[in-house]
A and B are shown apart, each in its own frame.
Chain A
Amino acid sequence: MTSDPAFVESPTIEISTASKWFGQKVAVSNLSCSFGPGVTGLLGPNGAGKTTLLRMVAGLIRSSNGTIRVLGEDPRRQPRIFSRVALVPDEDAVYGDMTARRFVRYSAQLANADSSSAAIERTLDEVAMRDAADRPIAGYSKGMRQRTKVAAALACDPEVLILDEPLNGTDPVQRAHLIDLFQRLGERGRTVIVSSHVLEEVERVSSRVVAIVDGRLAAAGTVDAIRAAMYDIPYVVRIDTNKPRELGAAMFRNGVVDTVEATSTAVEVRTRDLARLGSEAPSLAASLGAQLTGFHPQDASLESVFRYLVERR
């Protein structure tokens, strides 16, 4: 079992010390990690190097240094792997004059996959595009184009599906539908990589996250594990109580918290041991005759983890 959270046990995509620079600009720097079956979120702010990394993985651009293997092959040298790998790019790589149905069929034909009407209808159903499938793509909204691109990728029935910001431009219903689709694909054993700079999206779509900042690997693992690994940054927890000052003082004396800040209805504390705080706060409150009415970790969300990662660099 691998101990480095940047790597998975049965990788389908292996990235080893990969770098990419465009003139003086370094887009990806000495990045090593791997991806395997299931959904992985690729997280990073705009300009972090996510798109460059995914394009290297798909073989669209060469890495300046390092190696990339997809299903054991170099994607730059072996186009045949694209019968098993699909990329949904961020840009609108679609033919505006085609209908979604024609585009998806064309994708299947190019991949030598099943392009029968039944197969195309099934694929359109997967992304809920069947009703609009006979209209030219040029007239679609951004969200419809995103779903059309996803359908074109699914038409190849890929083992590895790479999605670059696939939820951009989608409305909440479409977003929920696509997230559900990605998760189902992951459960079926497909390798699904979903990149996004929207933290809430990544948190919803996957449990494993690879975060990159300035082209470098910033963190990898589950959101909770990443957060737990950042032992040098305390958790912030708000505890709602009727005796905030007394409870705060008791917790500080007990050593379970580092800092305390009380208001009239709550105490906000910083702790490096969330589990211990969770188990000891009720007994401390009971000993003071205080009532606990709420326990709210303030920064365990991916957004705060991500903010820490960026600030720590």
Chain B
Amino acid sequence: MTPTLALFTVSLRHAMPRRRTLLLGLLELAPAGIYLVSTTNRTEDFALQGAVQIGSSIFFSLVLPVVSIVIAAGVLGAERKDQTLSFIALRPIPRIAIAAAKILAAIFAAFAVNSVGAVALAGAHTIRFGNPQLFLGLIAGAFVATVAYAAIFVPLGFLTDRAVIIGMAYLLVFENGIAFALPGLASLSPWRLGVVTFGALAPEVAAYTSEFIGSLDVSASASLLTALTFLVAGVTATSILLRTRDLA
């Protein structure tokens, strides 16, 4: 096993402690539960619209960011607090490889949990109407948004103990407040990249996502590219922080 793969594997396991993962997994089931309750005895069109609104306004804009921020902020933050970061830093691994392994571990862990929510919501719609049309869009959208959040909050978790609080403020004040009022700022909102991807890969729902995505009018590949840009920037920033800051 290569050093970077070993680091990734252990980081992934530490990013998913059993109790926290279970709690976050239960949180992920909330959108599907709300969907099932709110669409009882409704037509498929109404239910589809409901699925998109619940997907956008609860899953993408609340549950997914909370899960991603909590997991990502802890990947390096917990190592710093537990003083195990020095154990990693004192191994012959390039800082950029440490940064990449940590951010990829955060992405894998957060996406694994976020997939539960995406699959549950799409599955609920499929069970009710026998139409699996939401699976691809929700899962791909969840992946794109998760990548962007992880790329931002892994380095922030290294920088400050308050990364989760900052993340919640960013989510509630900026993404779900200011960016709604000023649609031009929508491109700085990771969850909107997810909604864009969702809409792009499930064309029948695109009409219902427009109210959430502001001025973002991009394809799924463009939103994926944007998320990858976040990823490259996140890895670069993290490796610079690891090189320049005191690690103990």
Contacts and interface: CB of A to CB of B under 8 A. Distances in A.
Interface of A: 55, 58-62, 76, 79-83, 85-87, 89, 91-95, 97, 106-107, 109-112, 115, 152, 156
B95 A60 contact: no
B94 interface: yes
B10 A82 contact: no
A107 B90 CA distance: 10
Contact of A80 (B84, B92, B248): B92
A60 B248 contact: yes
Interface in B90-114: 90-95
Contacts of B246: 55, 60-62
Contacts of B247: 60-61
A82 B95 CA distance: 12
Q: Give the size category of B's interface with A.
A: 20 to 34
Given A58-B90, A83-B92, A89 B7 contact: no
B92 A112 contact: yes
B98 to A, nearest CB: 9
B87 interface: yes
Contacts of A156: 91
A111 B87 contact: no
B87 A93 contact: yes
Interface of B: 1-3, 6-7, 10, 14, 82-84, 86-95, 243, 246-248
A93 B14 contact: no
A19 to B, nearest CB: 14
Task: Please indicate which of the listed interface residues B2, B3, B248 has the most CB atoms of chain A within 10 Å of its own CB.
Answer: B248
B77 to A, nearest CB: 15
B3 A110 contact: yes
B248 A111 contact: no
Contacts of A107: 87, 91
Q: Is the interface of B mostly helix, strand, loop or mixed?
A: loop
Contacts of B86: 58, 60, 87, 89, 91, 93
A60 B89 contact: yes
Given A83-B92, A89-B86, A95-B82, 5 more contacts: A59-B90, A82-B91, A91-B86, A110-B6, A110-B93
Contacts of A97: 14
Given A60-B246, A60-B248, A61-B246, A79 B93 contact: yes
A55 B92 contact: no
28 contacts: A55-B246, A58-B90, A60-B90, A60-B247, A62-B246, A79-B89, A79-B91, A79-B93, A81-B92, A83-B92, A85-B90, A86-B90, A89-B86, A93-B82, A93-B86, A93-B87, A94-B84, A95-B10, A95-B84, A107-B87, A110-B91, A111-B92, A112-B2, A112-B3, A112-B92, A115-B1, A152-B87, A156-B91
B90 A87 contact: yes
A85 B84 CA distance: 17
Contact of A61 (B90, B91, B93, B248): B248
B83 A89 contact: yes
A82 B89 CA distance: 9
B120 to A, nearest CB: 29
Given A60-B247, A61-B247, A95-B14, A82 B83 contact: no
B11 to A, nearest CB: 11
Contacts of A60: 86, 89-90, 246-248
A62 B3 CA distance: 25
A110 B1 CA distance: 9
Given A60-B247, A89-B83, A106 B6 contact: yes
A194 to B, nearest CB: 17
B90 A92 contact: no
B3 A93 contact: no
B91 A55 contact: no
B92 A79 contact: yes
A60 B85 CA distance: 10
A80 B85 CA distance: 17
Nearest to A61: B246
A94 to B, nearest CB: 7
Nearest to A97: B14
Contacts of A109: 1, 3, 6
Contacts of A87: 86, 90
A106 B243 CA distance: 22
A92 B10 CA distance: 18
Contacts of A93: 82-84, 86-87
B83 A91 contact: yes
Pairs of residues from A and B, 4 with the lowest C-beta to C-beta distance, nearest first: A109-B6, A110-B91, A61-B246, A83-B92
Nearest to B17: A97
A91 B84 CA distance: 9
A86 B92 CA distance: 10
